[in-house]
Amino acid sequence: MAYSIVAAEPGGIEVLERRELDPIVPDASEVLVRQTAIGVNFIDVYYRSGLYPWPVERDFIVGSEGAGIVEAMGQDVSTFSVGDRVAYTVSHGAYTSHRVLPATSLVPLPDSVKDEQAAAVMLKGLTTYYLIHESFPVEEDQTVLFHAAAGGVGSLAGQWLKSKGVRTIGTAGGAEKCVIAKENGFDHVIDYRSQDFVDEVMALTEGKGVEAVYDSVGKDTIMGSLACLKTFGTLVNFGQSSGIPDQFRIPDLAKGSFHLTRPILFHFTANPSWLKQASEALFQVIGDGTVKVNISNTQPLSQAGQVHQMLEGRKTVGSTVLIP
Ligand SMILES: NC(=O)c1ccc[n+]([C@@H]2O[C@H](COP(=O)([O-])OP(=O)(O)OC[C@H]3O[C@@H](n4cnc5c(N)ncnc54)[C@H](OP(=O)(O)O)[C@@H]3O)[C@@H](O)[C@H]2O)c1
């Protein structure tokens, strides 16, 4: 029986409940996908808790990435056939066994990428792609700082940055996570729960600072991130796992004529040609082994609440995948 995990209203994990689905028929430009694997991301928590406003009043389905098999399609869709393996990332709706999606939001999966790998990286991997190629396009021998280096995005970023010859400093909470971040390619890892990361970055860079900081932690790190930048450095704030960084003021950028950007993946994926070329680049580095996908936790979709609790409690490393 087809089913979804639905939140009746924003709140804690108790709002997530299983509901049976009526049969779904795709519109002319849509594809019906039977999902085989679903990725878990911090954005799911932001939506479930209500930090991010809901596009509907009630009964919302969180989840932003998945993979599966094409079961049917509307009459205008010529790019996919029944039985094709596909993957996607969109803002919500993934915690479900079956769903319809616009054909333009799907990408075909090559044999070299498994369904679970794709479900784990469509959002995190494409985010990593734009962060290091577009938000601050890295060059060989530059030094960058990346927070939450043992997390889903961080684990992919460490490996991809290493393959580009970039010197990477990561931060992670606790000794165990620091080891994992190192295994994922970071040259230096700072335990920012027990060490002052600004002092450590300055020591590692002989007082010069870094060319860019990729900061998804937000409130707890943002001012320190600015203090780690070289003159003309770039702060890429792409998330707020510790809370919204509201202490920042524009004059803070004047200290070093800094650049600041606050990107969102879905502005990039709205362009189908970007989605195509970025996902091809992502599948290439996964397929050839440059970037390994660390799926540390695979759970039935019915366990979504417990998985959220772990993510919010800083208990996860790498990626978590739900199986419908
Ligand atoms: N803008 C975009 O387009 C975009 C796209 C994808 C993801 N993101 C953002 O990227 C970040 C990483 O996403 P992810 O799904 O891969 O998550 P994740 O990194 O696996 O998990 C978040 C990590 O943030 C760290 N953290 C620091 N302070 C925290 C706190 N107070 N509460 C909870 N966690 C805290 C924890 O690592 P430590 O224990 O090591 O500190 C935690 O494991 C999130 O902020 C997400 O919103 C943004």
Report the CATH number at residue 108. Answer: 3.90.180.10
- Looking at the domain assignment, is residue 277 inside a domain? no
Q: How far, in Å, from the CA of 51 to the mean position of ligand 1? A: 14
Residues 101 and 176 both lie in one domain = no
Q: Considering only CA atoms, which residue is closest to atom 13 of ligand 1?
A: 42
Q: What confidence tier does 302 reach under pLDDT thresholds 50, 70, 90?
A: very high
List, in order, residues 6 or more apart from 298 with CB less than 8 Å away. 116, 320, 321, 322, 323
Q: Going by CA atoms, what residue is nearest to atom 30 of ligand 1? A: 242
96 located within any domain: yes
Q: Is 172 in the pocket of ligand 1 (CB under 6 A)?
A: yes
pLDDT at site 45: 97
Q: How many independent structural domains does the chain possess?
A: 2
Number of H helices, E strands in the chain: 9, 15
Given 262, 280, 314, which residue is the final one in a domain? Answer: 262
Question: What's the rounded Cα separation, in Å, for the pair 123 and 224?
Answer: 27
Q: Is it the case that residue 105 has pLDDT exceeding 90?
A: yes
Q: What are phi and psi of 323, to 5 degrees?
A: -115, 120
Cα–Cα distance, 27 to 227 (Å, whole number): 51
Q: Which atom of ligand 1 is nearest to the CA of 192?
A: 41
Which atom of ligand 1 is least distant from the CA of 241? 45
Instruction: Establish whether residue 154 lines the binding site of ligand 1, counting it when its CB lies within 6 angstroms of any ligand atom.
Output: yes
Q: What is the pLDDT of residue 8?
A: 96
**What is the Cα gyration radius of the chain?**
20
Any atom of ligand 1 within 6 Å of the Cβ of 42: yes
Return d(Cα 149, Cα 154) in angstroms, integer: 4
**Token output for 99:** 């769903």
- Tell me whether residue 317 is in a domain: yes
**40-93 pLDDT, tens per residue?**
999 999 999 999 999 999 999 999 999 999 999 999 999 999 999 999 999 999
* C-alpha span between 16 and 60 (Å, rounded): 9
Residue 206 structure tokens: 């002989």
Dist. CA 255–CA 232, nearest whole Å: 9
Q: What is the mean pLDDT of residues 230-245?
A: 97
CA 203 to centroid of ligand 1, rounded, Å = 25
- Is 40 contained in some domain? yes
Closest ligand 1 atom to residue 153 Cα is: 16
Q: Are 222 and 196 in contact (CB under 8 A)?
A: no
Which residues are 190's β-sheet partners? 171
Same domain, 147 and 185: yes
What average pLDDT does range 183-190 have in this prediction?
A: 98
**Own/partner pairs, 15-19, CB within 8 angstroms, 24+ separation:** 15/48, 16/48, 16/95, 16/304, 16/305, 16/308, 18/302
- Does 264 contact ligand 1 (Cβ within 6 A)? yes
Cα separations (Å) of 58 from 8, 10, 43, 54, 217? Answer: 5, 8, 18, 8, 29
User: Are residues 255 and 148 part of one domain?
Assistant: yes
Q: Please check whether residues 249 and 301 belong to one and the same domain.
A: no
Q: How many CB atoms lie within 10 A of CB 306?
A: 13
Q: What is the CATH number of the domain that holds 184?
A: 3.40.50.720
147 CB less than 6 Å from ligand 1?
no
Ligand 1 midpoint to CA 20 (Å): 31
Identify the weakest region by mean pLDDT among 171-175, 246-250, 272-276: 246-250
Is residue 12 domain-shared with residue 113, that is, in the same domain? Answer: yes
In angstroms, the CA 238 to CA 276 distance is 22
Task: Give 231's pLDDT tier (boundaries 50, 70, 90).
Answer: very high
Amino acid at 224: G
Q: 59: CA distance to ligand 1 center in Å? A: 25
Ligand 1, pocket-test mutation among 216, 238, 317, most atoms within 8 A of CB: 216
* pLDDT for residue 1: 86
Tell how far the Cα of 106 is from the centroid of ligand 1, in angstroms. Answer: 25
pLDDT(202) > 90? yes
Average pLDDT over residues 85-109: 98
Residue 253: domain span: 140-262
Are residues 7 and 85 both part of a single domain? Answer: yes
Tell me the H-state helices in 131-217. Answer: 152-163, 175-183, 197-204
Q: Determine which residue's CA is closest to atom 19 belonging to ligand 1.
A: 151
| pLDDT (average), residues 127-138 | 98
Mean pLDDT, to the nearest integer, of 108-127? 97
Mean pLDDT in the chain? Answer: 97
For residue 100, the CA-to-ligand 1 centroid distance in Å is 28
* Residue 19 in this model has a pLDDT that exceeds 90: yes
Note every long-range contact of 161-164, with CB atoms under 8 Å and residues 24 or more positions apart, other chains counting.
Answer: 161/132, 161/185, 162/186, 162/187, 163/285, 163/290, 163/291, 164/132, 164/138, 164/139, 164/140
C-beta 316 within 6 A of ligand 1: yes
Q: Is the pLDDT of residue 288 over 90?
A: yes
Domain co-membership, 115 together with 145: no
